[in-house]
Amino acid sequence: GLTIEGNAQLRSIAALRNLGNFTRDMRIRIAGNYKLESLQGLEELPEAADLTIQKNGNLSTISALGKLTRVGTLRLEGLESLLSLDGLQSLQEAEQFHIVQNLRLNSVAALDHLRSVSNLQVRGNPSLQSLEGLHRLEHVRGSDPESPVGELDIGDNDAL
């Protein structure tokens, strides 16, 4: 896995592009890097088992995730400066997808290719004005055959 966490002065992870190919079972956690401005360095990431982008207060764009098509768990949480999900236009499938407490997030329109999730949580995004972008979502189903029903949790988004 790859963890970049708690680096108070880190502004860039662009050097990661030299790591080579990411594998589909990769677990990536980028959290608590308040000055981080973008995810440049992850441009070649097509799939991941777990991608957590959390509490990076200065992160205003996730556009570097443009090649991400499939993810096990994607958590976008506490990203105070993030306005939109531009960069996730290629995402088609996610088992767990959490969009939580992103104060300035006003649009999820970039998710217009998302077709299937097991659990989608959109909660505590006070500036979110529309769910436009989720219109192509075809399946919300559990990943466990014993529990075939998935979960869609949308709440506490004050502008909706």
pLDDT digits (tens, 9 = 90+) for 36-49: 999 999 999 999 99
Q: Whole-angstrom distance between the N-terminal and C-terminal Cα of the chain?
A: 36
| Residue 143 pLDDT exceeds 80 | no
Domains contained in the chain, number: 1
Could you tell me the CATH number of the domain that includes residue 97?
3.80.10.10
Percent of the chain with pLDDT over 70: 96
Would residue 66 count as lying in a domain? yes
Q: Give pTM, 2 decimals.
A: 0.94
Would residue 19 count as lying in a domain? yes
Asked whether 40 and 67 are in contact (CB, 8 A), the reply is no
Rounded Cα–Cα distance for residues 136 and 116 (Å): 9
Helices in 21-141 by DSSP H: which ranges?
none
Give the per-residue pLDDT at 24.
81
Q: Mind listing the pLDDT tens digit for each residue in 51-74?
A: 999 999 999 999 999 999 999 999
Letter for the amino acid at 7? Answer: N
The pLDDT mean for the chain works out to: 94
| Residue 33 pLDDT exceeds 70 | yes
Q: Which domain holds residue 45?
A: 2-155
Asked whether 5 and 33 are in contact (CB, 8 A), the reply is yes
| Residue 20 pLDDT exceeds 70 | no
Would residue 87 count as lying in a domain? yes
| Residue 99 pLDDT exceeds 80 | yes
Would residue 160 count as lying in a domain? no
65: three-class secondary structure by DSSP: helix
Find the mean pLDDT for residues 129-139: 93
Letter for the amino acid at 129? Answer: Q
Rounded Cα–Cα distance for residues 126 and 54 (Å): 17
